[in-house]
Structure 1
Amino acid sequence: MTITVLDTHAGMRRVLTAPADDRAEILREMLEPAKGMYRYFPGEVDLVAFHGRSAGFPFDRDETRCLEALDTLASADAWGRVQKALDDAVEAQLAATPGVNVPDITVLLLLGNPDDEVFMTHGLGVTGNGSVPGYITITVWPTPENVERLEATAVHELNHNLRYSPGGAVWDPATVNVGEHVVSEGLADAFARGLYGDELGYTRIGVPHLGDDAVFAKVVTGLEVTGMHNFSSWVHGDAIAASYGGTPVGLPTGAGYAAGNRIVDAYLAATGKSAAQALHDDSTTIIATALGRED
């Protein structure tokens, strides 16, 4: 098992300092090692176009601002910290579940787009994807809060990666429901909190609604919803979902994260397990146990 944090520091600097006509191709080369992230997409993914649609840094303008942000990440030893965090988290997971399958993982750490309003306001300047075993992407604008949480952000995505690795939970697009997604976010946050504490371990977009009983009750009504195009509204909230063409359901940003943390915390309290020990536990069991305690 090898975790490889790609040297996107050098790669992004090369993109941002190259002649304008060369930048797209240099960016494509930098993103190529992580193209397996999109192996379940229909057809060939245009890596550069997808970068732009997913809040990736602009490469045709704002070079000075992006280079300064890149220097902020480098000064914070972002790449080294992410590498160490992931290595330490794998060790912690294996101590809890010695037989878990840990794949080779390629990690892509990228600057985000500071002009993307949804990313910067509702998303608070950070997004990640660890749902495809073998790949983790983290897209971040380096505000002090986001830099401070780099380790917790990385291990949150690692938890997703390990949950859906062979032998673990199965994400079947034909049958998976909102409940699995909500539980997965709660488990990933609980894992990060176990390593870095509540102050850093919670995904920030969910924090404002952790104690909101009305938001929790609303999310619970949607746990059986299927159709992955519906998930973002229930998990990320209406504003983020709408930016991807989703239909609003009446939930604030981060609602599913807040509910997921409450569900998972109730389950862990009931079973005496740690988040690491519950890595592969079935979401229906987690939800049934948690809702029994909530009632």
Structure 2
Amino acid sequence: MTISVIDSASATASILDAAPEARADLVRKMWAPMAGMYHFIPGGIDMATVHRQNFGFDWEDSSATLRDGLAALVAADAWTRIANALDMGAAAVESADPAVRVPDLKVLLVLGDHTNGHFLDEIQGLSGFGGIGGYITLTVWPTARVLDRLEAIAVHELHHNVRYAAGGVVWDPAIVTVGEHVVSEGLADTFATELFGDAGYTHFVAEATRADNDVLAKVATGLDVTGMQNFAAWVLGDSTARLFGGAPVGLPTGAGYAAGTRLVDAYLHATGTSAAQSVRTPSSDILREALPRLGLTPPGRA
């Protein structure tokens, strides 16, 4: 296994130093190692568009704020910390389940767009993606909370990557359910807590949301929902659903994460296992065990 954390610090500095007309191509160059994530798109995709879709910084912004943000990540030794955390996480998964081998990884840390209100305020400077085998992207704005959680953020995405690359769990867009997405977020957060304590919990999920039985019950009614265009509301909440043109369902930000951690916790307590050991466990098994323990009806039962 090889984990390659791309030197996006130097790449970002070069973008900010470049003439305005040259910056978009430099953004594409920074993202080029991640192009394999989009192998399924005929003709590929413009990686500058991917940058914007992932809440990446506005390369047309000439304010000092971006340079300050980059300097904060450099001062925090973010790239080294992420690499070390991924090494630790990989070792933990492979030790817990010897049948699993973590894939080679390319990892891109991106400075986020501090002018985007949803990114900065609603999801509090964090957008990560690790669901395609061999690739992890982390877009962050270096608030104190984000900097404190860098390791946990990284291993959260690692758990997703292993689950869908080496864990044998198939994410089929045609049939995948909200239940799978919710369980995967719960497993990833819980895995991060196994390594880094309470810092493992995704920070844009309010404590009140985590403890809200009504939120849990509402998410449980949507576990059988399919169609990935519908997932944002059930997992990330109504605000994100509206941003991407989806229909709200009456849930706060991070509701699916909150429900997922409670479902996973119930399953792990019942089975005496860990999130590291459960990276390959089908969501149906977890829900079948967890829902009744939480006083909820399993999917498919009247």
User: TM over 0.5: same fold?
Assistant: yes
Number of the residue aligned with 1:202: 201
> Which one-letter code corresponds to 1:205 in the other structure?
F
How far is the alpha carbon of 1:167 from its aligned partner? Answer: 4.7
Number of equivalences: 294
Number of the residue aligned with 1:176: 176
Number of the residue aligned with 1:12: 12
Change in Cα spacing, 1:246 to 1:43, as seen in structure 2 (3 Å) is farther
Q: TM-score, normalised on structure 2?
A: 0.95
How far is the alpha carbon of 1:207 from its aligned partner? Answer: 3.6
Number of the residue aligned with 1:233: 233
Number of the residue aligned with 2:151: 151
Number of the residue aligned with 1:212: 212
> Which one-letter code corresponds to 1:178 in the other structure?
V
Moved more, 238-247 or 216-225: 238-247
| In 1, Cα distance between equivalents of 2:265 and 2:166 | 25
How far is the alpha carbon of 1:98 from its aligned partner? Answer: 1.2
How far is the alpha carbon of 1:62 from its aligned partner? Answer: 3.5
8 Å Cα contact 1:16-1:63 kept in structure 2: no
8 Å Cα contact 1:236-1:256 kept in structure 2: yes
Change in Cα spacing, 1:244 to 1:35, as seen in structure 2 (3 Å) is same
| In 2, Cα distance between equivalents of 1:202 and 1:182 | 14
> Which one-letter code corresponds to 2:23 in the other structure?
R
| In 1, Cα distance between equivalents of 2:168 and 2:53 | 30
How far is the alpha carbon of 1:229 from its aligned partner? Answer: 0.5
> Which one-letter code corresponds to 1:289 in the other structure?
E
| In 2, Cα distance between equivalents of 1:123 and 1:64 | 23
8 Å Cα contact 1:205-1:257 kept in structure 2: no
| In 2, Cα distance between equivalents of 1:274 and 1:50 | 34
| In 2, Cα distance between equivalents of 1:108 and 1:238 | 28
| In 2, Cα distance between equivalents of 1:10 and 1:44 | 25
Following superposition of structure 1 onto structure 2, how do residues 100-179 of structure 1 map, counting pairs within 5 Å?
Answer: 100-179=100-179
How far is the alpha carbon of 1:80 from its aligned partner? Answer: 0.2
Q: Deviations over 1:134-177 (max 9, x none)?
A: 00000000000000000000000000000001452111111110
| In 1, Cα distance between equivalents of 2:173 and 2:28 | 28
How far is the alpha carbon of 1:103 from its aligned partner? Answer: 1.1
Q: TM-score, normalised on structure 1?
A: 0.97
SS at match of 2:204: helix
| In 2, Cα distance between equivalents of 1:121 and 1:193 | 24
8 Å Cα contact 2:94-2:101 kept in structure 1: no
Change in Cα spacing, 1:42 to 1:202, as seen in structure 2 (3 Å) is farther
| In 2, Cα distance between equivalents of 1:223 and 1:190 | 19
Q: Deviations over 1:257-282 (max 9, x none)?
A: 00000000000000000110111101
SS at match of 2:250: coil
How far is the alpha carbon of 1:63 from its aligned partner? Answer: 4.0
How far is the alpha carbon of 1:42 from its aligned partner? Answer: 5.0
Aligned-residue Cα RMSD (Å) equals 1.0
> Which one-letter code corresponds to 1:162 in the other structure?
V
Q: Deviations over 1:205-226 (max 9, x none)?
A: 2243111001110000000000
| In 1, Cα distance between equivalents of 2:277 and 2:166 | 17
| In 1, Cα distance between equivalents of 2:217 and 2:102 | 35
Number of the residue aligned with 2:262: 262
SS at match of 1:223: coil
Moved more, 71-80 or 34-43: 34-43
